[in-house]
């Protein structure tokens, strides 16, 4: 492919091979899809994951996930209602009243002739789902390659947690979103005055290793004083100088990242779980945890600061092409060691997992 054709292809869309590789490679992992509170009344609710429309509901307390189409004439089940069939809850199609129970079993066809049994072919595919950290997670494969990554601060009562809800999906891929959060060398340029200083752009000395289902990155840096580095509720906080920080980043492969910042003030954690709606659309679930400045009245300031940092990243991450991270062999991108070592190791791993296969 000559240069002009390559540039045009990258600006338009990934190749069919790249899209298929991304969707197929991401299938055997747990993906966050919905705040659990959205199913408090049982549902149903429609979501989209890896290019597929799904319907979620709680049937007698159990989360169920099916394709969002009835087996009869393909009407959207997310437009349906929960009903009782033989003493158990079921999801009823709004078109002709077919109803489906746990496991996708068709439990009622109102038009069925007397004496006829419901055919097995009327059943729906049922996907695996669990609730964790206040979020519903779905796996589209029979077995997940890795468990849902640990988030120890979430259950630790000594930490104050703040959720950040983005109003719109990001126009990027899930893996681009993880790389953008893992990349620390952009801090002085995109977040100057908050996470870095352009007069000090030198990358830190990274230690990078694999540990079970995680890529772990550790390094030390200095950053300006602020909510993420300093206990700003202290009377002397405004006189604080640059803060020395030990970062430990945990990437739960391939779609969750937990940035742990340890300072003299305490620990500040940035947790992000990305939902791959498709190759070019991602919904982010953010939770921020801190074990200092625990006054609930401070939460609004932390939420506003987090939203501000995310909006600084948004236009840049959304501008990246190709949509999907290209494999190293394509030489489309030029990562540079040693500063980009964490990103290079992440790219290598997603290639091994069959997620980055083409451009």
Residue 215 sits in a domain whose CATH number is 3.90.380.10
Residue where one domain finishes, among candidates 81, 111, 139: 139
What is the structure's pLDDT at 344?
97
Residue segments in the chain with a per-residue pLDDT below the cut of 70: 1-11
94: left (phi over 0), alpha (psi -120 to 50) or beta: alpha
**264 and 165 within one domain:** yes
Residue where one domain finishes, among candidates 90, 115, 139: 139
Distance of alpha carbon 234 from alpha carbon 237, whole angstroms: 5
The CATH number assigned to the domain holding 42 equals 2.102.10.10
Residue 31 near residue 275 (C-beta atoms within 8 A): yes
What is the structure's pLDDT at 56?
98
Distance of alpha carbon 166 from alpha carbon 240, whole angstroms: 31
What is the structure's pLDDT at 9?
57
**99 and 76 within one domain:** yes
Residue 318: burial class (beta carbons within 10 Å; 0-12, 13-18, 19+):
middle
What tokens were used for 345? 């190791």
Residue where one domain finishes, among candidates 139, 163, 183: 139
What's the whole-model pTM score? 0.94
Got the DSSP string for 145-202? SSPPPP-GGGG-TTSEEEEEE-SS-BSS-HHHHHHHHH--TTHHHHSBTTTB-TT--P
Q: Which residue has the tokens 């100088």?
A: 241
**256 and 207 within one domain:** yes
Q: Is residue 40 part of a domain?
A: yes
Q: Is residue 6 part of a domain?
A: no
Query: Could you tell me the residue range of the domain that residue 48 belongs to?
Result: 31-139
* Cα 161 to Cα 151, 158, 260, distances in angstroms: 12, 10, 14
Q: Is residue 147 part of a domain?
A: no
Residue 3 near residue 98 (C-beta atoms within 8 A): no
Q: Is residue 344 part of a domain?
A: yes
Number of compact structural domains in the chain:
2
For the stretch 13-55, pLDDT in tens is 899 999 999 999 999 999 999 999 999 999 999 999 999 999 9
**200 and 295 within one domain:** yes
Round the average pLDDT of the chain to a whole number and report it: 94
Instruction: Measure the N-to-C terminal CA separation of the chain; round to a whole number of Å.
Output: 12
What is the structure's pLDDT at 299?
96
Got the DSSP string for 18-33? HHHHHHHHHTTS-EEE
Q: Is residue 52 part of a domain?
A: yes
Enumerate long-range contacts of 242-249, CB under 8 Å, 24 or more apart. 244/220, 245/220, 245/221, 246/218, 246/219, 246/220, 247/184, 247/204, 247/217, 247/218, 247/219, 247/220, 247/221, 248/216, 248/217, 248/218, 249/182, 249/215, 249/216, 249/217, 249/218, 249/342
Q: Is residue 5 part of a domain?
A: no
């Amino acid at each position: 492919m000559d240069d002009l054709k390559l540039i045009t292809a990258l600006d338009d869309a990934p190749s069919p091979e790249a899209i298929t590789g991304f969707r197929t490679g991401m299938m055997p992992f747990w993906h966050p899809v919905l705040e659990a509170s959205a199913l408090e009344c049982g549902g149903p609710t429609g979501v989209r994951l890896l290019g597929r429309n799904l319907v979620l509901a709680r049937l007698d307390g159990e989360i169920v996930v099916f394709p969002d189409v009835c087996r009869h004439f393909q009407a959207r089940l997310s437009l349906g209602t929960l009903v009782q069939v033989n003493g158990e809850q079921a999801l009823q199609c709004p078109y002709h009243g077919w109803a489906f129970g746990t496991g996708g079993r068709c439990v009622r066809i109102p038009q069925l002739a007397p004496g006829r049994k419901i055919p097995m072919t009327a059943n729906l595919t049922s996907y695996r789902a669990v609730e964790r950290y206040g979020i519903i997670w779905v796996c589209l494969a029979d077995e997940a390659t890795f468990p849902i990554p640990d988030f120890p601060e979430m259950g630790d009562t000594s930490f104050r947690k703040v959720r950040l809800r983005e109003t719109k999906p990001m126009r990027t891929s899930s893996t681009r979103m993880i790389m953008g959060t893992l990349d620390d060398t952009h801090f002085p340029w995109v977040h100057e005055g908050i996470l870095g200083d352009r007069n000090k752009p030198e990358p830190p000395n990274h230690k990078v290793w694999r540990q079970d289902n995680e890529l772990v990155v550790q390094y030390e840096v200095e950053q300006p004083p602020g909510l993420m580095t300093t206990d700003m509720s202290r009377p002397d906080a405004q006189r604080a100088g640059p803060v020395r920080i030990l970062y430990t980043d945990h990437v739960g492969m391939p779609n969750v990242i937990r940035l742990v910042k340890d300072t003299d003030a305490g620990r500040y954690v940035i947790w992000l779980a990305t939902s791959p709606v498709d190759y070019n659309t991602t919904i982010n679930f953010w939770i921020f945890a801190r074990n200092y400045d625990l006054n609930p009245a401070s939460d609004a300031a932390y939420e506003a600061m987090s939203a501000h940092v995310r909006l600084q990243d948004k236009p840049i991450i959304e501008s990246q092409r190709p949509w999907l991270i290209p494999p190293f062999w394509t030489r489309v991108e030029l990562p540079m060691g040693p500063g980009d070592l964490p990103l290079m190791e992440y790219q290598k791993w997603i290639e091994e997992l069959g997620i980055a296969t083409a451009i």
